[in-house]
A and B are shown apart, each in its own frame.
Chain A
Amino acid sequence: MRCIKCRAPANVEVRRHRSAFCAGCYPDWFRTQVQRTIDDDRMFSRDDRVLVAISGGKDSLALWHALLRLGYQADGMYIRLGIGEYSERSQAKSEAFAAKHGLRLHQVDLAADHGFTIPQMRNQREGKPCAACGTVKRYHFNKVAVDLGYSVVATGHNLDDEAATLFGNVLHWQTDFLGRQGPVLESTHSNLARKVKPLYRLAERDSAAYAIIERIDYIVEECPMAVGAKSLAYKDTLNALEETQPGLKYQFLVGFLRQGRKAVKTEDPVQIRECAKCGQPTTAEVCAYCRMVERRLKKLPSLASPLGGEGGEGQQQ
């Protein structure tokens, strides 16, 4: 296989585009795709201050790297989730990346600042804390962005993530989620940051190849809590189909965004107000994050002390 730009031996094939690139030409192709996505979906401009949600994985670090190369003002934010060695290693990778490139990385430490860790938030039925983890991430990324005046939060969600989410929402006919799934979530309240996904048209493999070629040192291992996650089964199924139908994931997702979403979009304007406890935007009296933390702390009265938080009263927001 040869590079479609310079005819040198190719390193990265992008089957859905029927293209292949050498390691020299690939990073430019990747960044051009990111730029096009940002422009086509009017995500942000070079005047905006962007807060990139960093996990230490390939997607978030590749995104941060690409945004800086494209000339955007992008700072990072990392949440210390307290998932054992995995968290320690991903934190180290995130900090090392920021230090190497002289970048600003904001951090929230759940155990020290809020008195709990993600493994303690396991759902009793599923045994997984992923739903809680999602709530925690949305809450803190939004809060830091609003408090520090960033105009937009960018996450590293890629084509595989978005196609798997769509697949799951279709399988279960989650029409309310379907109506809200998209690469741009507009702000509907002054305390709610805009959220964008500049990698949503690039496959997971594309961002890994970018990270490897650009020598970005990311955490290759998986979060231990992800074992057995439904999203992994959906990705596997979609990748099995993609083997013989290259481009299927892209068509599925982009086809939905262009055509399907209209059909399910619920236009009832949800009333956003401020959480009675913390002031963050919510549709309820008390926000999902505050309710979750309260529920857990009731069940785990001695939660804060072994973590080095405030003895017995981990509820500080």
Chain B
Amino acid sequence: MGDVKVTILPRRETREVEAADVGHLLRSLGLHQDAYIVIRDDVILTRDVRLQSGDQIEVWPVISGGS
């Protein structure tokens, strides 16, 4: 298990995280599953998808606020 490269939208902050799968990735970033979508190579991933060292991952927030 190696590091995956994570970009968190909308500000595009980058992180390197050790994670075996998508669920694990979100937990180690402290993010709720219902509040984010995880994308690799333009494809949305479910939480059971295994990640490889060197994967480029985008994490998109889905929650909007206000009134």
The yes or no answer to A213 lying at the interface (CB within 8 A) is: yes
Contact in complex: B65, A229 (CB < 8 Å): yes
Assess the A160–B63 pair: CB atoms within 8 A: yes
Q: Write the nearest CB–CB distance from B31 to chain A, whole angstroms.
A: 9
**CB contact between A204 and one of B11, B48, B49, B63 (< 8 Å): that residue:** B63
Are B32 and A226 in touch, CB under 8 angstroms? no
Residues of B contacting A213 in the complex (Cβ-Cβ under 8 angstroms): 44
> Is residue A93 contacting chain B, with contact meaning CB distance below 8 A?
no
Complex CA–CA separation, A227 to B67 (angstroms): 11
Contacts of B32 in A (CB 8 A): 236, 239-240, 242-243
A239 and B67 contact, CB distance less than 8 A: no
- Report chain B residues within 8 Å CB of A203: 34
Q: State whether B44 touches A12 (Cβ < 8 A).
A: yes
Chain B residues within 8 Å of chain A by Cβ, number = 25
A residues bordering B, Cβ < 8 Å?
1, 10-13, 15, 20, 23, 57-59, 130-131, 133-134, 137, 160, 203-205, 207-209, 212-213, 220-223, 225-227, 229, 231-232, 235-236, 239-240, 242-243
Chain B residues proximal to chain A, CB less than 8 Å = 9-11, 32-37, 39, 43-49, 60-67
Rounded to whole Å, the gap between the CB of A137 and the closest CB of chain B is 8
16 A-B residue contacts at CB 8 Å? A11-B44, A58-B62, A58-B64, A133-B66, A137-B67, A204-B63, A212-B37, A212-B60, A220-B9, A220-B61, A223-B66, A231-B67, A232-B63, A235-B35, A235-B65, A242-B32
Does more than half of chain B's interface fall in helix, strand or loop, or is it mixed? loop
Chain B residues whose CB sits within 8 angstroms of the CB of A229 once the complex forms: 65-66
CB proximity of A8 to chain B, nearest CB, Å: 12
Shortest C-beta distance, B45 to chain A (Å), equals 7
| Cβ-neighbour of B46 out of A1, A204, A235, A239 (below 8 A) | A1
With A11-B43, A12-B46, A20-B46 known as contacts, the answer to whether A205 contacts B64 (CB < 8 A) is no
Task: Give B63 Cβ to nearest chain A Cβ, in Å.
Answer: 6
A209 vs B10: C-alpha distance when bound (angstroms) = 16
In the complex, the answer to whether B34 meets A222 with C-beta atoms within 8 Å is no
Across the interface, which residues of B come within 8 angstroms of A20, CB to CB? 46
